[in-house]
Structure 1
Amino acid sequence: MHARGWVIGVVVAGAVVSGAAADPAPKPVDIKELKAKAVVLQDAQGGTYVVFRTDDPKVFYGPNAKTVYEQVIIGSSSDGEGRWEFNTWAPRVPEGSHLGSLEHKKDGSYQKTCRGKDDAGLTELGGAKAQAILDKTAFVTMGIIRVPHLLARDDSGVYYYVDRLAKIYGGKGYRVFVGRKGAMKQMPLTDVASDSAGDVFSTKSGDLRLVRNSENNKETMTWVKGGKRTELVFLDTDINSVVIFKDLGIYTFLGTLCDNV
């Protein structure tokens, strides 16, 4: 018996179609018990960085001292002799794992690194200046409200993209965009169907169908408009992180260490 990649139009309980409601805002983070462990840094443009080196470490960054956003820590290291480093998710960094880093070097200096694209030396603040930031700055959850769900492209360079709310902001609320780089248009979403065979995102302009074929463990995507079917190239959302978070033009401020690369 051959496995077939049929998409069955069953709406999953709890699947949410993103409507006109505004996206959630970042949530306050309580740092009262962490202040004694804070390392407060700034760059020459006033960008503010706060590192809490505790058993549950946290890194925050903001382009100014008004609000700083929690970073997603991917990894960290320390040599036990004064040097330490935190690697955080920075989806606009083009190479490798899309990381931005904060490093305390053995010579006592601090460095922000975006793989050579937006690197900067940092100055440690102490005394009243550091305390003012800890007391007056708003510490909030990450600035990336939405994350990629799937990405595809046709042979003429038109992209088809679906995002959803990040898990800490609800994890649903899908949106569909279609268009060329820098000219993506959101398609009014009317229904979401999902099952073991795939996903269907129905819009007023057409259906975006992701089909999972259990026989060869492959996924295919198709845009269906009226009676016309356009086969799409399925694109890995991590490998194409820069395309998604920069080139498509959907997102502006992310609140990461390396927004400006």
Structure 2
Amino acid sequence: MVIALGFVIAPQAALAMDPPWGQEKKLRERMVLESTRVCTDGKGHYTVLVPTTPEADGQLYYGDGKAFVQVPNVSSNSETQADFFEPRFFNPKANDNFRGVDYRVISRLAVSEDSKTCTLSCGDRALPQQPLEADKAKELLRKSTFAPSPMKFQPYALLRDDKGTYYLVERGIGADNKSFRIFTGQRGQVKPQKMLNVVTDSQGEIFSTQGGDLRLVVDREESSFWVVKSKRQKLRAVPVGENLPFIYNELGVYTGARLGTPCDDV
């Protein structure tokens, strides 16, 4: 099974978090900071690579050198590499199912063994970066603030009628996984709908407006459908995992959105 990862920016500001090296009071914390690498494009954008250790998972951050947000990991970071989800940049030559992950929508930051070069890969585009010297990197990191990833929702279901109208269902991530958002419209023009989740079970979901005039029924076994008052419109399920570049680049929900990844400013 291919895992379909995807996210959208939440409107509220992210809460601050402690960096992985904490207050540098313990030897372990100081070692984490010493092993952390910082790369920049020379235009005020910085990517921070914290490698995985026996004590903690590695982390990746992206920001302007003053404020950073966490970039969700796809796999464990090494001292020289971190992979991250980036559906806006597609690499057709990558493995479409490596341990359940479609690497065609995975991008990467790589640091050379001698830490003298960095490369940011956004899809099939390789972008040279400049590594910061260790002392300059530590000075920058100590003065910066860190926040969790701003990505709070992921594409959950995509449906389409025979007139080309799309219906995208997003679901919250983690603790917010009972939250849903609905968008409908033609390609490039989808708009949010104020609908309530009235049913969620093993067979699917039912969403409805407050008065019940509009309903969206997402069924896992039978056909899904859109209801306007009592009139039903049958919908075709469109696989989310196979259409992530379309969802993020063409559908219209994410137009102009920053996903909090190092490819935001490419």
Q: Is this a same-fold pair by TM over 0.5?
A: yes
Superposition deviation, residue 58 in structure 1 = 0.8
Distance (whole Å) between structure 1 residues aligned to residue 124 and residue 42 of structure 2: 17
Pairs aligned (count): 228
Unaligned runs of 5+ in 2: 1-9, 23-28, 97-102
Match of 1:6 in 2: none
Match of 1:74 in 2: 74
Match of 2:33 in 1: 35
Matched, 1:109 2:140: no
Match of 2:250 in 1: 247
* Secondary structure of 2:37's aligned partner: strand
Match of 2:90 in 1: 94
Superposition deviation, residue 128 in structure 1 = 5.1
8 Å CA contact retained: 2:61, 2:70? yes
Deviations along 1:80-112, one digit per CA (max 9) or x if unpaired, are xxx832211112222342111011235642100
Superposition deviation, residue 131 in structure 1 = 2.7
TM-score normalised to the size of structure 2?
Answer: 0.76
Match of 1:15 in 2: none
Match of 2:13 in 1: 25
Superposition deviation, residue 260 in structure 1 = 5.2
Counterpart among 201, 204, 212 of residue 195 in structure 1? 201
8 Å CA contact retained: 1:28, 1:139? yes
Structure 1 residue identity aligned to 2:15: K
Deviations along 1:34-75, one digit per CA (max 9) or x if unpaired, are 42332111113221011111311111112x223222122223
Match of 1:232 in 2: 235
TM-score normalised to the size of structure 1?
Answer: 0.78
Distance (whole Å) between structure 2 residues aligned to residue 144 and residue 24 of structure 1: 11
Match of 1:144 in 2: 151
Distance (whole Å) between structure 2 residues aligned to residue 176 and residue 35 of structure 1: 42
Match of 1:176 in 2: 182
Unaligned runs of 5+ in 1: 1-21, 214-218
8 Å CA contact retained: 2:198, 2:205? yes
RMSD between aligned residues: 2.4
Structure 2 residue identity aligned to 1:259: D
Match of 2:48 in 1: 50
Structure 1 residue identity aligned to 2:59: K
The 1:39–1:260 alpha-carbon spacing in structure 2 relative to 1, beyond 3 Å, is closer
Identity of aligned residues (%): 30
Match of 2:215 in 1: 207
Superposition deviation, residue 171 in structure 1 = 2.2
Deviation above 6 Å: which 4+ runs of structure 1? none
Distance (whole Å) between structure 1 residues aligned to residue 251 and residue 67 of structure 2: 26
* Secondary structure of 2:151's aligned partner: coil
Which structure would you say has the larger RCO, counting Cα contacts within 8 Å and 6 or more residues apart? 1
Match of 1:164 in 2: 171
* Secondary structure of 1:129's aligned partner: helix
The 1:77–1:145 alpha-carbon spacing in structure 2 relative to 1, beyond 3 Å, is closer
Distance (whole Å) between structure 1 residues aligned to residue 242 and residue 109 of structure 2: 23
Deviates more, 1:100-109 or 1:45-54: 100-109
